[in-house]
Structure 1
Amino acid sequence: MEKQSAVVIGAGVAGLATATLLSREGYQVTIIDRLDKPGGRAGEFTTSDAPGFRWDAGPSWYLMPEAFDHFYALCGTSTQEQLDLIDLQPAYRVISEPADPHTPEVLDISPETVIDTFEKIEPGAGKRLAQYLDNATLVYEVAIHKFLYNNFTRPLNLMTREMVVHARLLAILLTRSLDAYAKTVARDIRLQQVLSYPAVFLSTQPKQAPALYSLMSHTDLIQGPKYPRGGFTAVVESLINLARDNGVHFELGTEATEVVTFGKAQRGRHKLSSKPRVNPRVRGVRVRDGETTRLIPADIVVSAADLKHTETKLLPPHLRTYPDKYWVNRDPGLGTVLIYAGVKGKLPELAHHSLLLSKDWGTDFDAVFGKEASPLDSKWSRSMYVSKTSATDDNVAPEGYENLFVLIPTAAEPDLGHGNAFLEAAEDINASDSMEVREEDPRVQDIAKQAIDVIARWAGIEDLASRIVISKTVGPQDFAQRFNAWDGGAIGPAHTLAQSAFFRGKNISSKVDNLYYAGATTVPGVGVPLCLISAENIIKRLREDHTTGPLPTASRISEA
């Protein structure tokens, strides 16, 4: 019997994972991407201007290890076989905006000592944190078994004894913000920020994230982040190799221009007819490769590209499950300016992961998420994230140098412009009239310069700017053009209450049969672990598996 064929649009983490699992299910899989190498926003950034330097291109926190373990098990392997994970000490460093510019305020956070750290700073906060973390662990386990691997095809499956027992706690956490919940643990702003900053990694702000996302504290304050030796490049390479080992065919430098369908939508002939709707079905994906367009036929199509782009650019209006009006009142989440910097000399002031947090960070969030009119170059946050993988890995910078990755939250505003990181790689994209390549935008350049100044002053590295030997930037317009990201968002739609779980949308088209969605812009949400889970949820759709938890891994997925 001839295999059914599948086309996966987008070779980022979700696309690679989906392609591998589909191949193991028996499909003949082709994965396409408009860029010339797989990985999407994840993986590695290098530049010919700075040989010997390597940076994680985007994702850099290895959290939720169970998601990786489970995915690799589904693929007939293990995390131990695929990655070399290193514990980080400290897990991360919090650098607060100092009252005295000559006296940095530094707080090192590690799972082993975090309760004592809270108690030392604020008597009583350690005990309250212990209870907070107990609840975080409970909610994390509920999320794994009830929500994240759930396509919500049978809502009654949630009505279990476990859910009833924890209903009161879950209700409280759904109706309270993460910001308010953190304030029940500590009065000290630094301690509140340790508990509520993970909202930023969910592409939102603590006042808008439901307290249910306190589950993130289980991942960073109980499990603690790991570092895969080689960075997230090692993760991406393992996914590429698994896809190829399982027979996935790659077509890179190939841009999807249309999801092609056949048939017309039909209903019963009488308006009271009980006959089900008959949708058009996918026929394949029309692609552009250089100057040539062609059709790649497929029995099913999974788009791991940006959901808004898929719906509004690859489908005609009458076949859109999520038309233009759907997006009007929704939150695209964070934009970012990224800096890839090489620095001469050592930087002991910075840890592998460092969070720089302002005392009045409400002002930062207003700048990023505020709706009022203000100059574009003011729509950025002084609270930012800095990664220095050279603290752990000797192979990411030349001897005597450090590599810095700086993530500066900004408004999701493509008009903030381009950075200069991809100017030399512009030819890697199938250029079109909408993909005009420009020099680094002065707004991005200015934000990056001010961010380096913040790091220098707050961390006590007065000569930081003069020691930078290479600096490359990425702006919101880069995300919009390279990844078709909605409004140039860097992470994905914000995890507000109205955009979480079953409110986030479905991973299947309501108007086109055999069209599915994976990745950060659909369920279950943003981040590498959730992208892996989104791939598995496609398999559950195809199997008509209505369970709420992960698939069993006792046997290979292809034998299930």
Structure 2
Amino acid sequence: MTDAGAPQRAVVIGGGIGGLATAALLAAEGWSTTLFEAREELGGRAGSWEHEGFRFDTGPSWYLMPEVFDHFFRLLGTTAADELDLVPLDPAYRVYSEPSTGLDPLDVRSGRAEATALFESVEPGAGAKLDAYLDSAADAYELAVSRFLYDTYETTAGLRDPALVRRMPQLAPLLTRSLARHVDRRFRDLRLRQILEYPAVFLGGSPYGVPSLYHLMSHLDLDEHVLYPRGGFTEIIAAVQRLAEASGVVIETGARVTAITTDDAVATGVELADGRRVPADLVVSGADLHHTETRLLPRELQTYPDDWWRSRTPSPGALLVMLGVQGPLPELAHHTLLFTEDWRANFDDIFGSHPRIPEPASVYVCRPSATDDTVAPAGHENLFVLVPVPADPSLGHGGIDGAGDPGIEAAADRVIAQIAQWCGIPDLADRIVVRRTVAPGDFADDLGAWRGNALGLAHTLGQSAVFRPRNASRRVKGLAYVGASTLPGIGLPMCLISAELIVKRLRGDRSPGPLAEPARV
């Protein structure tokens, strides 16, 4: 226990966005807070890599749910506009189809009028259908934010609210029908269906596996704007770090926690690889939940032991290919998506009973140099390529300049050739001057990611909302969890909310909505 009148002590494990945000909020609540990060740099999955004048984001690259960022920053007395230089993207993204389909690429622009006009131009009658679809998506999104995402689920009171119960006849089909089925019954054109279904990947799943309630994601990229923080997503990490340290948080990098110490099933602090034992009244782990439970706690104190994980579904793994390219690449927008014709087979390769790296693959390409002249030397382009693959560390490791495992580098070669062919850049491979690959083996080794997954626990129905792991241990008092495998889920905004759920628990706030924001002076 702390001395009378002394601030309570908190230790946060992990310097990803969830851990940093938790540390900042705890310090603002008056806790004496120390954060330990095992690696030399902060950010976790939202990392950064610099090489020969190029700077690559190594993780998240879509700035969605801007109001969640705004709310988080206002909790700390500032705003997203004050902390970040946000740029709206136009187009929001570009879509290429497999050449065998003969389908033209599409530029998708944000805004209801632009989106419905695009859909109508591709498929007569689809504009009105999209209008109704986006009305439903906006309603589902408002419901998620006001009722589900900020609920700690310490009780089921929020779920039993009469206003929510009255909506169950409309909600039930959205929970039991897959996103793909929901979309395919409304639209015929393959490209339009894929535009509405690809957000399932942001949720760590397949459109054939996530519930159609998640059609709410289309509200974010079609109704609202897709933004980009100039300087890259590392600027978000830097902003949260600034706020944490300004509030008094002590941050140590290169400090690996090897155990959470307990006394009579009460958390008492952490033990570090260098032998130090750091006392705490509260321990919050932002490390991978599987790693936290199975590596940092003894079996008898694990809420989620190994046998619990055997029946759970990870998000996909990822093959990341970072490319520095000489000369311009106008064929690619800031965000570009390449969609295979056999959409279902692509997801079966990732999630099915015989997993393999898809060939050809549906691919995401980020070209931040289209918007930001700080991420590549003059006369060059920066490409971040993400290929969803099975969550399987045995697929191998990546490396710099082709030094990764042969199977990973061969897959990267195929993807580069695919981009070149589908997007009309025949000399792409010859223009590459920097190359790095990252694979599931790296996610497992560097981030402790369960099964080498790239995002966290997939948002299947059985792993969403009330069914998702809570933010507090059931076995150890004073131990909390934050991050992509806990409530509310995957992605930077969700991790910011996850941090807020820690504070709500400490305050005894069991309301389903966000915390009240302090008045700005």
TM-score range, shorter chain: over 0.9
2:108 corresponds to: 109
Contact 2:97 2:103 in 1 (8 A): yes
CA distance in 1 between counterparts of 2:64 and 2:117 reads: 23
- Per-residue CA deviation, residues 35-92 of structure 1 (Å, 9 max, x unaligned), is 0111111142212xx2x21111110000000110000000011111101111100001
Q: Distance in 1 between matches of 2:100 and 2:203?
A: 29
1:402 to 372, 381, 388: 381
Deviations 1:180-214 (A, max 9, x none): 11113211111000001000111110000100000
Indicate the residue corresponding to 1:83 in structure 2: 84
TM-score (normalizing by structure 1): 0.90
Cα deviation digits, residues 400-436 of structure 1 (max 9, x gap): 110000001110010111111599xxxxxxxxxxxxx
Q: Give the superposed CA RMSD.
A: 1.6
Contact 1:368 1:381 in 2 (8 A): no
**Partner secondary structure for residue 503 of structure 2:** helix
Deviation readout 1:415-460 (Å, 9 max, x if unpaired): 111111599xxxxxxxxxxxxxxx5111110111111111111111
Decide whether the 8 Å contact of 1:104 with 1:459 is kept in 2.
no
SS of equivalent to 2:94: strand
Matches within 5 A, 1:432-471: 440-471=404-435
Q: Are 2:19 and 2:482, in contact at CA under 8 Å, matched by a contact in 1?
A: yes
Are 1:97 and 2:61 an aligned pair?
no
- Picking from 520, 524, 531, the partner of 2:484 is 520
TM-score normalised to the size of structure 2?
0.96
Is this contact kept in 2: 1:97–1:105, CA < 8 A? Answer: no
Whether 1:538 aligns to 2:502 is: yes
Residue in structure 1 matched with residue 266 of structure 2 by the alignment? 281
Aligned partner of 2:371 in structure 1 is 392
Q: Match of 2:280?
A: 298
Q: Following the alignment from structure 1 to structure 2, what is the Cα–Cα distance between the partners of residues 64 and 381?
A: 31
Paired residues of 2:469 and 2:485 also in contact (CA < 8 A): no
Give the corresponding residue for 2:146: 145
- Amino acid in structure 1 at the alignment position of 2:386: L
**Corresponding residue number in structure 2 for 1:135:** 136
- The equivalent position to 1:37 in structure 2, one of 31, 38, 41, is 41
CA-to-partner distance for each residue in 1:357-414, whole Å, 9 max, x for gaps?
0111211111111123x6x5x4566101000000001111111110000001110010
Alpha carbons 1:344, 1:400 under 8 Å: kept: yes
* Structure 1 residue 547 corresponds to structure 2 residue 511: yes
- For residues 207-230 of structure 1, what are the alpha-carbon distances to aligned partners after superposition, in whole Å with 9 as ceiling and x for unaligned? 001000001001111112101111
Alpha-carbon distance in structure 1 between the residues aligned to 2:461 and 2:407? 32
Distance 1:473 1:43 in 2: 14
1:491 aligns with 2:455: yes
Structure 2 counterpart of 1:5: 9
| 2:403 paired with 1:418 | no
Q: Which runs of 5+ in 1 are unaligned?
A: 264-279, 424-438
Equivalent of 1:505 in 434, 444, 469: 469
Percent identity reads 50
Q: 1:248-327 counterparts in 2 under 5 A?
A: 248-263=249-264, 280-288=265-273, 292-327=274-309
Change (3 A) 1:455 1:422: closer
**What secondary structure sits across from 2:54 in the alignment?**
coil
What is the 5 A alignment of 1:12-411? Answer: 12-47=16-51, 50=52, 52-99=53-100, 105-112=104-111, 113-263=114-264, 280-288=265-273, 292-372=274-354, 378=357, 382-411=361-390
CA distance in 2, matches of 1:189, 1:224: 23
* Distance change in 2, residues 1:380/1:287 (3 Å): farther
Tell me, in whole angstroms, the C-alpha distance in 2 between the residues paired with 1:128 and 1:167.
23
1:163 Cα deviation after fit: 1.6
- How many angstroms apart in 1 are the aligned matches of 2:178 and 2:216? 13
The 3-state SS of whatever aligns with 1:171 is: helix
